[in-house]
Amino acid sequence: MSEATMKQHPDYISPEELEADIRHVIMATAGILGALYHFPKPMRDEFLGVDISEEDWLPGTYTDWPDDHLWQDMPIEQHPLTRVLRVARDYAFQEGEWPDEEGLKNIWDEIAPITDHLPRSDVNGLPTPARRSLGPLSPFPSDPPEMKREVGRLRRVIDMFEARWDLDQGNWLTIAQIAVLSGLGEETVRTTISKEGLRTAPRESGGRGRSDDGKAAEINGLSNAEARDFLSRRRGFIPSRSTGVEPPAAIAERILFEGSGPFPDRLKRLLAARGLTPAGLAETAGTPPDWTDSIVAGASTEPRIEDLVRLARALDCAPGRFAALAVEHLLT
């Protein structure tokens, strides 16, 4: 994928921006440790990986920023969070390379403690890039440039990583996750979902939406199929590259909505790909077996919208698009 394509997302974060923010939270952590615990200069320098003189770092202040060369020389690779966040950023924006699914699962597991324990404020109460809120780090024009870093970027990386993982794993997505993947605000997403006739519902299973305190957010969202359908029409959304495992919603999209041929033929191919028979589909969806047989066979029958929606959900399809295809076939 080209660099231009990557940067179509309005919240794109470059590797350089990510590493600057990692340095920022490492410095904030050192400041908190220095203010609250016994943290002599040798320990501090070992933690940071650079030798900072007392003139550059005043005792008791812990928020003075070192010279630029010391800042850039900080070996952030010695901290495990650097590896995790680099992979998370690449996967979130589908840029560069990342581990296989098992490796990504390990990153997903390691993201949670990072989310929970990165300092959201420094020792003086100023926000860090680990806080979700956006805006300048300092509102005072007289502050030096390094105190005006944008906050929230690390949280955006983490939020987007988790959202894309849930999307690719076929999980239910929260409104917040759909917003971060599309580059839209949550209110815009809610309004657009309503205008498009989609209905949100509580998460069924899987997924890990998070509130600002790092706890699981039990809020409404869309099924994976509906979320994929919604995101596919958003300009800022970056589609996922293949990870070798095709989620059910992606299978449905490829066969039913992107495939060719009459609707019943595509539906039969989808059932075969999912290992379902018409009877099995009826049982899974909770629809009348005879009516389901007619839908699969393409025979004339009543276009029962509620049952079509049940079939769509059983097949991990976007209900509105599935029902539209079925009704169009039944009425022709």
pLDDT in tens, 7-19: 568 889 999 989 9
Beta bridge partners of 174: 221
Q: How far apart are CA 257 and CA 255, in angstroms?
A: 6
Residues 39 and 140 in one domain: yes
* 10 and 90 fall within a common domain: yes
pLDDT for 198-235, tens place per residue?
Answer: 778 776 544 555 444 444 445 788 888 888 889 988 88
Asked if residue 72 and residue 148 are part of one domain, the reply reads yes
The per-residue pLDDT for range 274-330, each reduced to its tens digit, is 888 999 999 999 999 999 999 999 999 999 999 999 999 899 888 888 999 999 999
Residue 5: predicted pLDDT: 44
- Look at residue 58 in the predicted model and tell me its pLDDT: 56
Question: Is residue 175 located within the same domain as residue 135?
Answer: no
Q: Are residues 263 and 301 both part of a single domain?
A: yes
8 Å CB contact between 236 and 215: no
Residue 59 resides in a domain: yes
171 contact partners, CB below 8 Å, separation of at least 6? 205, 206, 207, 224
CA distance 101 to 191: 34
Q: Which two structure tokens, joined as six digits, stand for 205?
A: 């299973």
Instruction: State the Cα–Cα distance between residues 295 and 86, nearest whole angstrom.
Output: 48
CATH number of the domain bearing residue 252:
1.10.260.40
To the nearest whole percent, how much of the chain has pLDDT over 90?
Answer: 33
Instruction: Indicate if the pLDDT at residue 149 is higher than 50.
Output: no
Tell me 146's DSSP state. Answer: G
Contact at 8 Å (CB) between 172 and 218?
Answer: no
Give the residue from 127, 154, 181 where a domain finishes: 154
Residues 264 and 295 reside in one and the same domain: yes
pLDDT in tens, 81-133: 999 999 999 999 999 888 888 888 999 999 988 888 888 887 777 777 787 65
CATH of the domain at 183: 1.10.1660
Q: Is residue 178 situated within a structural domain?
A: yes
Predicted pLDDT at 65: 54
The first and second tokens of residue 282, run together, are 């009826």
| Residue 166, domain member (yes or no) | no
My answer on whether 216 and 282 are in the same domain is: no
Q: What is the pLDDT of residue 255?
A: 87
Q: What number is the average pLDDT over the span 151-180?
A: 89
Looking at the chain, list the stretches that DSSP marks H as alpha helix, in order from N- to C-terminal side. Answer: 3-6, 15-36, 41-48, 68-73, 80-92, 101-117, 153-168, 175-182, 186-195, 224-232, 248-252, 263-274, 278-285, 289-297, 305-314, 319-330
CA distance readout (Å), 327 to 203, 220, 288? 28, 28, 17
* CB count in 10 Å sphere of residue 257: 17
Radius of gyration of the chain (CA): 25
Same domain, 227 and 272: no
Domain count along the chain: 3
- pTM, to two decimals: 0.71
203 in the same domain as 133: no
Residue 238 lies in a domain: no
Q: Of 232, 256, 272, which residue constitutes the final position of a domain?
A: 232
Instruction: Return the half-sphere exposure (C-beta side, CA atoms, 13 A cut-off) of residue 7.
Output: 5
Task: Look at residue 240 and tell me if it is in a domain.
Answer: no
Is the pLDDT at 237 greater than 60? The verdict is: yes
Residue 239 domain-assigned? no
268: left (phi over 0), alpha (psi -120 to 50) or beta: alpha
Each residue of 48-85: pLDDT tens digit?
A: 888 877 666 654 444 445 555 667 788 999 999 999 99
Q: How confident is the model at residue 142 (pLDDT cuts 50, 70, 90)?
A: low
CA-nearest of 17, 12, 44 to 31 is 44
16 shares its domain with 93: yes
- In tens, the pLDDT along 16-54 reads 989 988 988 888 888 888 888 888 888 888 888 888 776
Fill in the DSSP letter of residue 213: T
> Are residues 29 and 95 located together in one domain of the fold?
yes
In a domain? residue 288: yes
- Binning pLDDT at 50, 70 and 90, where does residue 263 land? very high
Question: Which residue, 154, 182, 208, sits at the end of a domain?
Answer: 154
| CA pair distance 322, 308, nearest whole angstrom | 7
Q: By residue range, what is the domain housing residue 274? A: 248-330
35 and 175 co-located in one domain: no
Between 318 and 6, residue with greater pLDDT: 318
Question: What is the reported pLDDT for 276?
Answer: 87
Cβ 178 vs Cβ 227: under 8 Å: yes
Indicate whether 81 belongs to any domain.
Answer: yes
